[in-house]
Amino acid sequence: MGAFITSPFRFLPVSTLQQEIRRRRTFAIIAHPDAGKTTLTEKLLWFGGAIQMAGAVRARKANRHATSDWMEMEKQRGISVTSSVMQFPYRNEGGDYIVNLLDTPGHEDFSEDTYRTLTAVDSAVMVIDSVNGVEAQTIKLLNVCRLRSTPILTFINKLDREGRAPIELLDEIESVLQIQCAPMTWPIGMGKSFKGVYHLVNDTVQLFDPNADSEKGATAGLIQGLDNPELDRVLGSQAEELRIDIELVRGASHTFDKEAFLAGKQCPVYFGSAVNNFGVQSLLDALVDQSPEPLARPTETREVKPMEEKFTGFVFKIQANMDPKHRDRIAFVRVCSGRFERGMKLLQVSTGKTVAINNAITFMAQDRNTTEEAFAGDIIGVPNHGTIRLGDAFTEGETLKFTGIPSFAPEFFRRARLNNPLRLKQLQKGLQQLAEEGATQMFRPLASNDLVLGAVGILQFDVVAHRLEHEYGVDAIFEPHECSTARWLRGKQEDIDKLIDKAGHNVALDGAGDYVYLAPSQVNLRLTQERFPDIQFMETREIV
């Protein structure tokens, strides 16, 4: 336990603190590439009043870009390669909420950054393409959520296209992802015959009009009651088909069980068309009404509960150069307990130093505002001048280390080489910053002066090269490296020294100064493990 810092800030009344925390909802959107995740993000922001016009994705011909895709490379490629954070207020019949939306990378090469983002949320929306169903990245991301029992809501997208039968999609989700589905809405037709959705809970049909103003949700009206004659007049033969479908659905599907949902065992399912803004508000209402308020977070010594009066938070992401004009680095901090106030003096646990946080910010993609206060569940950005690392904890004095923020062993390796050797200092600085924010991993072999990069996907090297050129003025070439896989070394120093003595040409230091074995092949790794049984060769490293 550290010595608690005396703060000049007065605590809020407990009732006010609890009220503020309970209205927070913090979630991520996860999906396979091209499932419509970024479009859905834009429409959620529009409903929350955070942007004036939903449809920047749709209006690319006017040289607009999705609000959450702010990095230059993302704009060029149309993919999300960083995790954006966006906060907006939302009000419905259930109350007033503050929503923190984390838009995660959809490309398969960025699963590590996505995983770290998922450590900062309390629930997630899984977007499924109705045409393609469950895809590879969806499986990976759901498995990551399952490790933490994260509650999942599912949005089956693109009902305005000819896709697979809804019941087939639910069966696939249940069988492949091993999670119960509880349909909350049910589609009426699809593609050209898509007429809307039926809300199973409130017995209401929401009609779809592709010609309606999608800014208002492309809704042509509501019809109350499945047996309402108006339904037959509007839908014709599709009305009777809907009644048969709903009878089958009610008999064969799971009914919504909030306890199972909060335990990560069941996902409520909503159908819609994000590009037409249809079904999105129902999803947002479900998010704020059903998803959990801020949850407790584990540390090495105890569980931190959100309603505790004293502030705690941890760094789950570091982003360099959010604004290229300022060459800045921002540490993304998940507030885990209590209240943050501008000017607070906090203990940075990793350094043991007390720092005054005067310029914390909240985000709307690249737009930022200085924040006066924040509560458990919120995400704040803290300017970082190179002293803040992934996994760092900030507290009002208590020495805590939050757990569950891993770094994965990379699967691909490259050696960095310069076209202009005089830019070596800039290369080292750029790679160090990119490694600190988790965009890549950097290794320094003990036996050479090489700079070896590791990544979980090939595209990460393209991103690093692009950012080195445009943000640091470095023209670097990444050459193949003979390394096949990497393992962090855990054991007594004397045992590690023996390994270095025998195979030091394969040992490196990572960015945190930990020993790593860079194996040229799986066979070499297995033989080395057999020769040094007292050393653990770890596939993941806990970031603390």
Per the annotation, where are the binding residues? 103-107, 157-160
DSSP state of 386: S
Q: How far apart are the C-alpha atoms of 347 and 395, rounded to whole Å? A: 5
Q: How many CA atoms lie within 13 A of 506 on its CB side?
A: 21
| Number of neighbouring beta carbons within 10 Å of residue 260 | 16
CA dihedral 341, 342, 346, 348 (to 10 degrees): 120
Q: Which helix (H) or strand (E) holds 477?
A: strand 476-480
Residues of the binding site for GTP:
103-107, 157-160
Tell me the backbone φ, ψ of residue 385, rounded to 5 degrees: -105, 30
Residues 6 or more apart whose Cβ sits within 8 Å of residue 28: 83, 101, 102, 103, 104, 114, 117, 118, 121, 124, 125
Instruction: Assess contact for 412 and 441: CB atoms under 8 A.
Output: no
Q: How many residues does the chain have?
A: 544
CA dihedral 227, 233, 237, 241 (to 10 degrees): -30
285-304 residues labelled b (16+ CB within 10 A) or e (exposed):
bbbbebbbbbbebebeeeeb
Q: Which helix (H) or strand (E) holds 444?
A: strand 441-445
Reading the block at residue 300, the tokens are: 């090495």
